[in-house]
């Protein structure tokens, strides 16, 4: 019996896909989980690397680039009676955390679930480290990080698939559910590597905000609207947080200014961090 289908969309992830699948395979019973890697628009050996590390995984190759398209292909190949797990190809998560993530879905208490993301900044510049120190103070993350890794019940997956052609797939899915429909699982932790360089951080933040605005235009409001006043209050009462929060907000203001200068043709632009992948 399949407990879940794990979808791993991957575009030119040759440098990191082996690490992600290696972490995932430790203790994972592949007779109970279906792993589907969707190599989309790749010009490298992503698909071959995935097959060599996890021969039992299903690897789908498509010339069409796009994460939402890749996830839709993966969903078509999934077991519709079991939960869906969406996992970015550059993240580290163990089978124990994955099992914990699925628990609220199996007992019917939630339509979606998310865990706790740890951002590794040990190889990043001082500016990047300070940004993420301020980023962690966002009270939204008290209820987990819905992005990069999350799980959907069969009912939840049926609500959001097929995904529209947008850049912010995780943001679209997150806003498709009410807060009471999403379970935060603190025992599920996964790791992401921060950009090494500040200019790569700016690229990632531009893409994130650009994608969030796309979702907003679809009539789906952001659940983070009350975060800013809480962050400002924290900066005032906690001197150790004042500078990181101020720096975080300054960077986000600069990102918004950058987006104001973009043309309409940039709305589908996908910017990514290559610095952390180069060390994969």
Query: H or E segment at 185?
Result: strand 182-193
**Residue 87, helix vs strand vs coil:** strand
What is the widest separation between alpha-carbon atoms in the chain?
A: 53
Q: Which of 247, 169, 234 is nearest to 207 (CA)?
A: 169
CA separation for the pair 255, 204 (Å, rounded): 10
CATH number of the domain encompassing residue 128: 3.90.550.10
Q: What is the pTM assigned to this prediction? A: 0.91
**How many structural domains is the chain composed of?**
1
The per-residue pLDDT string of the chain (280 residues; one tens digit each, 9 = 90 and over) reads: 899 999 999 999 999 999 999 988 888 888 899 999 999 999 999 999 999 999 999 999 999 999 999 999 999 999 999 999 999 999 999 999 999 999 999 888 899 999 999 999 999 999 999 999 999 998 888 888 899 999 999 999 999 999 999 989 999 999 999 989 999 999 999 999 999 999 999 999 999 999 999 999 999 988 766 778 888 888 888 988 999 999 999 999 999 998 888 765 555 566 777 777 765 5
Token pair listed for 251: 């960077």
Determine the structural domain holding residue 117 and report its residue range.
4-278
- Residues 6+ away with beta carbon under 8 Å from 261: none
Q: At what angle do helices 17-25 and 95-106 cross, to 10 degrees?
A: 70
**Residue 183, helix vs strand vs coil:** strand
Return the C-alpha torsion angle 33, 173, 266, 17, nearest 10: -20
Q: Which of 42, 32, 40 is nearest to 3 (CA)?
A: 32
């Amino acid at each position: 019996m399949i407990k879940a289908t794990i979808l791993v969309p991957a575009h030119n992830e040759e440098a990191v896909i082996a690490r992600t699948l290696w972490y995932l395979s430790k203790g994972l019973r592949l007779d109970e989980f279906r792993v589907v890697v969707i190599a989309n628009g790749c010009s490298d050996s992503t698909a071959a690397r995935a097959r060599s590390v996890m021969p039992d995984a299903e690897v789908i190759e498509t010339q069409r680039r796009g994460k939402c398209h890749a996830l839709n292909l993966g969903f078509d190949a999934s077991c519709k009676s079991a939960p869906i797990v969406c996992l970015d190809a550059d993240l580290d998560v163990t089978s124990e955390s994955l099992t914990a993530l699925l628990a609220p879905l199996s007992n019917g208490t939630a339509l979606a679930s998310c865990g706790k993301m740890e951002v590794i900044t040990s190889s990043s510049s001082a500016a990047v480290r300070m940004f993420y120190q301020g980023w962690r103070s966002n009270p939204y993350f008290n209820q987990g990080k819905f992005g990069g890794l999350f799980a959907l019940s069969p009912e939840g997956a049926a609500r959001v698939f097929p995904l529209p052609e947008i850049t912010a797939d995780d943001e679209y899915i997150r806003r498709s559910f009410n807060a009471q429909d999403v379970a935060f699982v603190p025992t599920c932790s996964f790791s992401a590597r921060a950009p090494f360089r500040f200019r790569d951080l700016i690229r990632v933040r531009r893409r994130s905000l650009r994608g969030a605005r796309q979702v907003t235009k679809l009539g789906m409001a952001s659940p983070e609207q009350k975060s800013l006043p809480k962050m400002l209050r924290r900066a005032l009462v906690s001197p150790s947080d004042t500078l990181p929060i101020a720096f975080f907000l300054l960077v986000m203001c600069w990102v918004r200014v950058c987006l104001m200068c973009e043309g309409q043709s940039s709305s589908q632009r996908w910017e990514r961090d290559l610095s952390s992948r180069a060390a994969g």
